[in-house]
A and B are shown apart, each in its own frame.
Chain A
């Protein structure tokens, strides 16, 4: 090693071309301090500011220079300190003669540019539309239907906020969307799971994205008792799960969603996942029969795993007047972090519509018939759940 020949690489710190030659290149020479006359000329060029006369520039060191001050400065101070440091300050003081901050033109340019970034090429009408929307919201001049459904806010905010969760977090795959009627009343009946009724919201997003229709959910009365939730539910088109409201919506030609398992469904322990609970009292079937609308069975796979319910605090639940206080592997142990749903892969399948308009007049008041149809719907959903589970590769796959 000791007698190895050292091959020089580079210039060893000396200025030069890297060829080992002692003479630095002309470019390198210009960079060296105290050399080269060309520099000031080149720096002056990109700043074509009107340089005021030198006397106006020199300022008394105590006074803060304002806009007009250099012009009104007495000539006596002009002679005061023509030393080198102040002379170097010339370009900076020249900048002070313009208004401080960003000029209006730049603001407008930035605004236009930002609007184009956000709204695309046709930004003007889009921005105007947004301001009109804003104006309507502020002055209250929008319309809601008799259930309190605010179409505009639902479309622009509620669905828009849920869509990334549906697409990116749960990666929902929708099958059989063509089974949802494109117009007229229909009743979507779905299984219910997941501790928190996210499946209802996600079904709503899926239906809106595939058919453009709004799902009008029927909610338990607890939903309308809770602050904030109640407000959002009415805004998003929900109403109370009762026969009167269901029939009113269905005969109004709405697409109504119902989860007949109710709290028994979403609050069931993880060990009973994908086992359908009792389907209420079949009230949804009689509502569909009375209005003659088809029943669309809907099976949701994946929602069971978002908050695996492993325990319950019944005494606290009774105290708070809610059906259950969930204990999951993450909640309440991780605090708010435990509220993040696990990113399971979801499959939503809409089955073939079950027609109810072929039954005769009094069919809705025939309990046996109602129970039979209820069982038929329940069986369909259960079988679809099993087949979807077979097709699913893994919970998070």
Chain B
């Protein structure tokens, strides 16, 4: 008998893609999708149950469907379209509590996969260069998605203590990026001019959207207990990312960026969330050795390649890689000019 997988938050495009990919696996018998809204488009075999994970109905769903694997994907950062920050927090934190309470009472549940984020490490000037899974944030997040994620992880750890027979896999994913991603960071990089913090250059890591799906699939099928950082190899500086995108950067003093963010929100643009401000200032790096060695997963895209793929989906900006100007210069000035030795692994380096 195959496995029965419950996926939360399937109304979101990403979770629904994951659910549809999972149903094709030979090991998986059934996939049950849960959300408050019905998902758009064809769910091709995924059983959808309209249920709110914020109330105890979810326990009945788990019991009735004899679910053995729960993939919790509804901890989200975006507040757009979900009724503002308050209701997102409610969904993230209370939803997780209810879901975990239901799982604790359900004897059929054997495996829990939680999609968390590297945001839990926060970002500050006292951070080590690379966070390993044991490290705690130097500054506890006080608001926003970072706090949600931090609290959610706390509840998951509590659940893991109480149900020792359940394999709990927590995936701390770096900022997901790709042509179809709609995360706050992707929205930030889609701005026509990119506000940055004057005098700071953040280190960033990205995870390509296909790698995100792959690692969730891998974790669901592999059943490895533990917490794992997942990120593309290598580090990209924010200034570098902006240049690769070819958009003009708009450096401004750190203390004004919050105001700018709220002005942007009022103007109908995606704003800058609290955890984003710190991230854009100090950046963050995570050590992915454990996910490569223990979980057995290496992302196909490096950070640079993932970002390159995102850039390709964007109309490149006016500033740099119109590239004709610079290339022309190189060509006229030095006939012996070798093409610039670019150390960027391209997207086809996967596999």
Interface, chain A (partner B; CB < 8 A): 124-125, 127-129, 131-132, 134-148, 150, 221-222, 224-231, 234-235, 239-240, 242, 244-245, 248
- The distance in angstroms between the C-alpha atoms of A225 and B138, with both chains bound, is 14
Contact indicator B135/A244 (Cβ below 8 Å): yes
Contact indicator A146/B334 (Cβ below 8 Å): no
- The distance in angstroms between the C-alpha atoms of A129 and B339, with both chains bound, is 9
Contact indicator B240/A144 (Cβ below 8 Å): yes
> Can you spell out 17 A-B residue pairs with CB atoms less than 8 angstroms apart?
A125-B336, A128-B337, A131-B334, A137-B243, A138-B243, A139-B243, A139-B326, A141-B340, A144-B235, A146-B130, A148-B201, A224-B125, A226-B199, A228-B198, A234-B201, A240-B126, A248-B129
Give the 3 A-B residue pairs with the shortest CB-CB distance, closest first: A128-B334, A227-B199, A140-B243
- The distance in angstroms between the C-alpha atoms of A353 and B126, with both chains bound, is 30
Nearest CB of A to B320, in Å: 5
Query: What residues on B are CB-neighbors of A221 within 8 Å?
Result: 125-126
Nearest CB of A to B199, in Å: 3
Contact indicator B343/A143 (Cβ below 8 Å): yes
Contact indicator B336/A234 (Cβ below 8 Å): no
Query: Is B217 an interface residue when CB atoms closer than 8 A count as contact?
Result: no
Contact indicator A143/B125 (Cβ below 8 Å): no
Query: Is B329 an interface residue when CB atoms closer than 8 A count as contact?
Result: yes
Query: What residues on B are CB-neighbors of A244 within 8 Å?
Result: 128-130, 132, 135
Give the most central of B244, B326, B341: most A CB within 10 Å.
B326
- What bracket does the count of chain B residues touching chain A fall in? 35 or more
Give the most central of A141, A228, A229, A235: most B CB within 10 Å.
A141
**Known contacts A135-B326, A224-B125, A242-B126; can you find 7 more A-B pairs with CB under 8 A?**
A128-B338, A131-B329, A143-B234, A143-B343, A144-B240, A221-B126, A230-B200
Chain B window 316-338, contacts with chain A (Cβ cutoff 8 Å), 1 for yes, 0 for no: 00001101001101100111111
Contact indicator A132/B126 (Cβ below 8 Å): no
Contact indicator A239/B320 (Cβ below 8 Å): no
Nearest CB of A to B316, in Å: 10
Interface, chain B (partner A; CB < 8 A): 125-130, 132, 135, 197-201, 203, 234-237, 239-244, 246, 253-254, 282-283, 285, 304, 320-321, 323, 326-327, 329-330, 333-344
Which one, A139, A224, A239, contacts B282 given CB within 8 A? Answer: A224
Query: What residues on A are CB-neighbors of B335 within 8 Å?
Result: 124, 128
Query: What residues on B are CB-neighbors of A225 within 8 Å?
Result: 125
Task: With A140-B243, A143-B344 as known contacts, state yes or no: A128 contacts B330, CB within 8 Å.
Answer: yes
Interface of B is mostly: loop
- The distance in angstroms between the C-alpha atoms of A131 and B203, with both chains bound, is 26
Give the most central of B197, B335, B340, B343: most A CB within 10 Å.
B340
Contact indicator B201/A132 (Cβ below 8 Å): no
Contact indicator B200/A227 (Cβ below 8 Å): yes
Contact indicator B234/A146 (Cβ below 8 Å): yes
Contact indicator A139/B321 (Cβ below 8 Å): yes
- The distance in angstroms between the C-alpha atoms of A245 and B135, with both chains bound, is 12
Contact indicator A231/B234 (Cβ below 8 Å): no
- The distance in angstroms between the C-alpha atoms of A137 and B243, with both chains bound, is 8
Which one, A132, A146, A235, A245, contacts B338 given CB within 8 A? Answer: A132
Residue of B nearest to A147 (CB): B129
Contact indicator B199/A240 (Cβ below 8 Å): no
- The distance in angstroms between the C-alpha atoms of A144 and B243, with both chains bound, is 14
Which one, A139, A235, A242, A248, contacts B244 given CB within 8 A? Answer: A139
Query: What residues on B are CB-neighbors of A125 within 8 Å?
Result: 334, 336-337
Query: What residues on B are CB-neighbors of A234 within 8 Å?
Result: 201, 203
Task: With A136-B340, A140-B244 as known contacts, state yes or no: A131 contacts B200, CB within 8 Å.
Answer: no
Contact indicator A239/B330 (Cβ below 8 Å): no
Contact indicator B135/A227 (Cβ below 8 Å): no
- The distance in angstroms between the C-alpha atoms of A228 and B326, with both chains bound, is 27
Which one, B241, B246, B283, B337, contacts A131 given CB within 8 A? Answer: B337
Which one, A124, A148, A227, A230, contacts B237 given CB within 8 A? Answer: A148
Nearest CB of B to A171, in Å: 32
- The distance in angstroms between the C-alpha atoms of A138 and B249, with both chains bound, is 12
- The distance in angstroms between the C-alpha atoms of A231 and B343, with both chains bound, is 22
Contact indicator A140/B241 (Cβ below 8 Å): yes
- The distance in angstroms between the C-alpha atoms of A154 and B113, with both chains bound, is 43
Nearest CB of B to A257, in Å: 15
Nearest CB of B to A322, in Å: 13
Which one, A128, A139, A231, A242, contacts B320 given CB within 8 A? Answer: A139
Nearest CB of A to B167, in Å: 28
Query: What residues on A are CB-neighbors of B241 within 8 Å?
Result: 140
Residue of B nearest to A229 (CB): B199
Query: What residues on A are CB-neighbors of B304 within 8 Å?
Result: 143
